[in-house]
Chain A
């Protein structure tokens, strides 16, 4: 956990959001519906919610760039839209996709933004040197912004937003695409900034970040679920959260009945354990009966409260159990990487990656963006030819029988890339055809998938118009039509709301019971917890391997205190850097 910012006191009302509704089109639900809240100076206000909850819409209303359909946004009592010009003098805004010019250097970007804001002379130079020191970018002033890492881009974006010392700083998902280390740095930079004269809005889909904010506005589907201190919300869950410690082999078969039980509001895998959220006044003895292990009370998290507000987790049943045939477990590895190496010129994007994966196992390739996990992933599904080493999927060598190997794997790309202009049924027929299913069998499988994923009613709907959760189901359905032996998932649930994420993982659970191997890439620590085994990749190399709990345990200090996956990640990266320095010396 990060240090909590200590600027609770001295908040002054700065922004008032009064029953704001925003429609983008006459039909369809509003992007925001009667949202009210306040933003105070001296505090970090978290704008929290999954993708599509309305965070960016609300931020744009705060900048005065768009106008609410109903209600008003008042900044120091003035209407934001009407007093745009004045407002922009005191606003620092960092859009989601860094508003930087990728073909300009770091310094050129700073100069450009300074010119735009009318900052010049010695004052400008002073600000520059201060900000460059603050963001630790002084060494990179000549580098093109496009060549910076995700974390450094965000820092530069922050520097540009801070040029004229804004009184209201709006950060739209600053931690997306940023590795955990830079994420911490970014957070501590921002909390250092906040003082009596400045209000900060930090939009995020990560609930662990929400926990650290002074205040939050929790959004879901354009509606405000909660506003106030995150701790107050989390505290309402006190006494309802338990960790069930189980043997690792048992956790998957235990979780589904737990979710289905009426006295359990939510259950998720947490390394070797299962994290349980019980219903109010649930019978603990009854729950203990469902668990073959020890039940330990645990501290509630913000996410528990969010899930509870959303009406609890899914029921844990996955109709996929009936819709997929079981593959036989031959005991052999189904995915094998032997010394996989990919070089681009002198740069090795991945070097000597070796692992093997059993049937029914979930293996996570964890690492920050650009660490080489995507390259490894692409080599294993045949999208990139390795420079050295070999990869095998379902017994087929990817160099000699790539197409056969590809026929045995299912692939779900990030952001569920499907054909948005054609209907659900047409998407499925296409994939059935491409995977060579005969007409009769294609029809059978399509019907089974539509049924299993509750998509029958959406048969004729254009895929692009489906709600996000259904898009994800369709993507999974398309990847499973041909009953693959291995499923490749690329950051499957980042930015997705907690309920949809749980639903997704209960499908994955059902698949492992059918001996389907699942290979996941993620930079998202929570997703890592769902994996059976993790391969931690950093700078193109495997720096650690093991079960999530083993990795966490390897980093626990002498006091054996609980460490989060993120702590473990940061510690392991630091250890590897240390080792590298020693060998170099």
Chain B
């Protein structure tokens, strides 16, 4: 039995690797994803323009302006001359925010009165403008802290972010990529496996051999598992050595959990493959599954922000569970119990999808 399965696995690996398209499927997406997620898709505020309308002639106004100029996220600081220009700046999306300092800003501070700074933000970019707002607030509160020194010191809030003290965005994305990339690779490799044979007419040849349906399922699952682990390992190495992300947890826990994660995904991939007549259909099926799986995993937006019914629906998404494990083990040494708690749903999904796809394959045969 093992001899048959091993032969099938070797053939599967060779067939993927010797087909130029198969090689492309294996090599291109992970590299592309690496570039896109690690460099292009960032949620930090960088490279933004901002405008300042400083009508104050005193020192305090200049200090605020200098603070903005010196802040790293802002690329270009445009100085405005009159209130009329503000609308045009925001409407034309020239800048994300305008800081308006009134004529009496310095005078009021000197007089010990409260002074106001107006910040106009572009609400169309809600996420970025919130972050810009907090940047600006911290600059202004620094100035005011210095200005009111000697008067009464206001309480200053100090924020510390645990597990990712500098809020490095890559610390969040790369462990997530370990999970999403393995999903994409595994789902495509397995979805193509049976569909490829069916399209080329070799599937019948396989079915008339002494291979039993269970052996076919094992043989067809192995390449997904192997390539899933290869890609997962590659991204773990890139994260640790390329992006210097600290690996806090246990590799054993991560790889162990990944095993059940990959099985769950393979079950879905084989299911797609069993119902596809051509490779094109299989690829399409894989993406119909993969896009919502990534969107509803908590990788793009927190699951907690979704409506209750949808949170419930995300339970059947293997990525949602494994993402918690990958990010947790990487950044905060997730305890083994928690790893197991998040792996359990993966075991459940695999025990449903794998037999279901085996059943479907057998049913398609007869």
B333-346 vs A: 1/0 string, CB under 8 Å? 00000000000000
In the complex, chain B residues whose CB is within 8 Å of the CB of A421? 14-15, 18-19, 22
In the complex, chain B residues whose CB is within 8 Å of the CB of A334? none
Is there contact, CB below 8 Å, between B7 and A430? yes
Which A383-421 residues sit within 8 Å CB-CB of chain B? 383-385, 403-404, 406-407, 409, 411, 413-415, 417-421
Q: Which of B200, B207, B208, B212 has the most CB of A within 10 A?
A: B208
In the complex, chain A residues whose CB is within 8 Å of the CB of B366? 383-385
Is there contact, CB below 8 Å, between A436 and B4? yes
In the complex, chain B residues whose CB is within 8 Å of the CB of A431? 209
Q: Complex Cα distance A409/B206, Å?
A: 12
Among A382, A406, A429, the residue within 8 A (CB) of B7 is A429
Is there contact, CB below 8 Å, between B11 and A419? yes
Flag whether A564 is at the interface (Cβ < 8 A). no
**Which partner residue on chain A sits nearest B206 by CB separation?**
A434
Flag whether A433 is at the interface (Cβ < 8 A). yes
In the complex, chain A residues whose CB is within 8 Å of the CB of B7? 429-430, 432-434
Flag whether A290 is at the interface (Cβ < 8 A). no
Is there contact, CB below 8 Å, between B205 and A411? yes
Flag whether A426 is at the interface (Cβ < 8 A). yes
Is there contact, CB below 8 Å, between A488 and B15? no
Is there contact, CB below 8 Å, between B14 and A426? yes
Is there contact, CB below 8 Å, between B208 and A433? no
**Which partner residue on chain A sits nearest B9 by CB separation?**
A433
Which A432-485 residues sit within 8 Å CB-CB of chain B? 432-436, 438, 462
Is there contact, CB below 8 Å, between B212 and A417? no
Contact A406/B11 with A417-B200, A421-B19 known, Cβ cut-off 8 Å = no
Flag whether A381 is at the interface (Cβ < 8 A). yes
Flag whether B204 is at the interface (Cβ < 8 A). yes
Flag whether A422 is at the interface (Cβ < 8 A). yes
In the complex, chain A residues whose CB is within 8 Å of the CB of B200? 417, 419-420
Among A382, A385, A403, A419, the residue within 8 A (CB) of B202 is A419
Which B1-55 residues sit within 8 Å CB-CB of chain A? 3-4, 6-8, 10-11, 14-15, 18-19, 22
Among B4, B14, B208, B211, the residue within 8 A (CB) of A383 is B208
Is there contact, CB below 8 Å, between A435 and B210? yes
**Which partner residue on chain A sits nearest B212 by CB separation?**
A403
Is there contact, CB below 8 Å, between B208 and A409? yes
Flag whether B165 is at the interface (Cβ < 8 A). no
Min Cβ gap A508→B in Å is 18
In the complex, chain B residues whose CB is within 8 Å of the CB of A417? 200-202, 204-205
Is there contact, CB below 8 Å, between B208 and A422? no
**Which partner residue on chain A sits nearest B11 by CB separation?**
A430
In the complex, chain B residues whose CB is within 8 Å of the CB of A438? 3
Min Cβ gap B215→A in Å is 9
Q: Complex Cα distance A413/B208, Å?
A: 10
In the complex, chain A residues whose CB is within 8 Å of the CB of B365? 383-384
Contact A403/B205 with A385-B366, A421-B19, A421-B22 known, Cβ cut-off 8 Å = no
Q: Complex Cα distance A206/B332, Å?
A: 73
In the complex, chain A residues whose CB is within 8 Å of the CB of B201? 413-415, 417
Is there contact, CB below 8 Å, between B11 and A411? no
Q: Complex Cα distance A421/B192, Å?
A: 15
Is there contact, CB below 8 Å, between A406 and B204? no
**Which partner residue on chain A sits nearest B207 by CB separation?**
A383
Contact A382/B207 with A417-B201, A418-B202, A426-B14 known, Cβ cut-off 8 Å = yes
Among B15, B208, B212, the residue within 8 A (CB) of A411 is B208
Min Cβ gap B140→A in Å is 64
Contact A422/B14 with A381-B208, A382-B207, A384-B365 known, Cβ cut-off 8 Å = yes
Q: Complex Cα distance A355/B117, Å?
A: 97
Is there contact, CB below 8 Å, between A433 and B15? no
Is there contact, CB below 8 Å, between A462 and B18? yes
Among B14, B18, B19, B210, the residue within 8 A (CB) of A406 is B210
Q: Complex Cα distance A421/B197, Å?
A: 12
Is there contact, CB below 8 Å, between A433 and B22? no
Min Cβ gap B13→A in Å is 10
Which B175-213 residues sit within 8 Å CB-CB of chain A? 200-202, 204-212
Is there contact, CB below 8 Å, between B205 and A413? yes
Is there contact, CB below 8 Å, between B14 and A434? no
In the complex, chain B residues whose CB is within 8 Å of the CB of A407? 209-210
Q: Complex Cα distance A421/B19, Å?
A: 6
Q: Complex Cα distance A384/B201, Å?
A: 16
Is there contact, CB below 8 Å, between A434 and B208? no
A residues contacting B by CB (< 8 A) are 381-385, 403-404, 406-407, 409, 411, 413-415, 417-422, 426, 429-436, 438, 462, 488
Listed from nearest, the 5 A-B pairs whose CB atoms lie closest are: A433-B7, A417-B201, A407-B210, A385-B366, A430-B11
Given contacts A419-B202, A430-B10, 18 further A-B contacts (CB under 8 A): A403-B211, A406-B208, A406-B209, A411-B208, A413-B205, A414-B201, A418-B202, A422-B18, A430-B11, A431-B209, A433-B7, A433-B8, A433-B10, A434-B4, A434-B209, A435-B4, A462-B18, A488-B208
